[in-house]
Structure 1
Amino acid sequence: MNSDTSPRLDRYFTYRLNTLAKLNDLASHSLYLDKGGLSLAESRVLASIGSFPHITVNRLAFEANLDKGQASRSAQSLVDKGLVVKANSLTDGRSVILALTPSGKPVWRKLMVLMEQRNQALTSCLNPEEQVLLLDMFERMLAHAKAGHAGDALEHAA
């Protein structure tokens, strides 16, 4: 088989997307730890709790892109730091609802500014029109994925 037509992992979109995500995680971890005092997992959890008020741990794991154990440990760490509060769900006694505390809200706002900075740094190689086009394409891909296999994961996380 000609090497030009042979399958190569680095030619696949999903491989490139995962590599980009890993490189972004490395840069984000340093930024969030240095400027916000939170690990990457804690930052993802705090951002998700602030963005999706009264979120369950199952939904949190999905939104923060962590497994349930990581999400639960990070949420507990944020509870211990006084940034998040846990409450039992009124509709499901087995479920816990998470929300920001009054002292967690300014930390969340600061974190969201740092996330915006990371987004701008990552997309700075694209002109404004390319950025809009890329976001539009990602929205369509997300909608497509949610309509298929990922839709099942969303239902289980809710």
Structure 2
Amino acid sequence: MSEIQTVSALDAHLGYWLRMVSNAVSQSFARALDGEGVTVAEWVLLRTLHDAAETSPSRVAATLGMTKGAITKLADRLIDKGLIRRKADPADGRAQLLALTPRARKLVPKLAALADANDGTFFSGLKPAERAELERLLMKIIADRGITEIPAS
């Protein structure tokens, strides 16, 4: 006699629902950024550099939880697009610094507005208290699991 094993349904998992919402939010934002010629990963680097005058690729990598190689690839793409510049660190001629170009300084607020609008599209149906509770619960999960890597893709 064989035992019938119960298998939970896909939608019985909170992760399923989180992924459904996350995918929709991320894909919508990616499409909006694509209209500006920027990827989500490039946006994350641009937004990070926006808060710093100049910073090293290794510091950016540590901040974003990415490898220095990944930052270098992103930086190369953004240099090709004329959005960031790389220069020698005057304090250490072997090291390099990354900074936004003037064109990127004008672009980042526009991209941030796209991020804000995307959030509004997906979360405006929540009452302020519901949104605050959702954020609190997500931050609790992040803290409890020790999640530190910034989503960049």
TM-score of the superposed pair, with normalisation by structure 1: 0.69
1-structure distance, mates of 2:88, 2:98:
9
Distance 1:14 1:114, change over 3 A: same
- When the two structures are aligned, how many residues end up with a matched partner? 146
Residue number in structure 2 paired with 1:32: 33
SS at match of 2:116: helix
2-structure distance, mates of 1:13, 1:55:
38
Distance 1:14 1:69, change over 3 A: farther
Residue number in structure 2 paired with 1:134: 134
Residue 131 of structure 1: CA displacement? 0.9
RMSD over aligned CA atoms reads 3.2
Residue number in structure 1 paired with 2:17: 16
Unaligned runs of 5+ in 1: none
Residue 121 of structure 1: CA displacement? 1.0
Distance 1:128 1:60, change over 3 A: same
1:41–1:71 contact (8 Å) kept in structure 2: no
Unaligned runs of 5+ in 2: none
SS at match of 2:102: coil
Residue 25 of structure 1: CA displacement? 2.1
SS at match of 1:139: helix
Question: Match of 2:40, as an amino acid?
Answer: L
The share of aligned pairs that are identical, in percent, is 22
1:64–1:71 contact (8 Å) kept in structure 2: no
2-structure distance, mates of 1:16, 1:143:
20
SS at match of 1:103: helix
Question: Match of 2:144, as an amino acid?
Answer: H
1-structure distance, mates of 2:12, 2:92:
47
TM-score of the superposed pair, with normalisation by structure 2: 0.71
Residue number in structure 2 paired with 1:104: 104
2-structure distance, mates of 1:41, 1:13:
26
Residue 137 of structure 1: CA displacement? 1.9
2:25–2:119 contact (8 Å) kept in structure 1: no
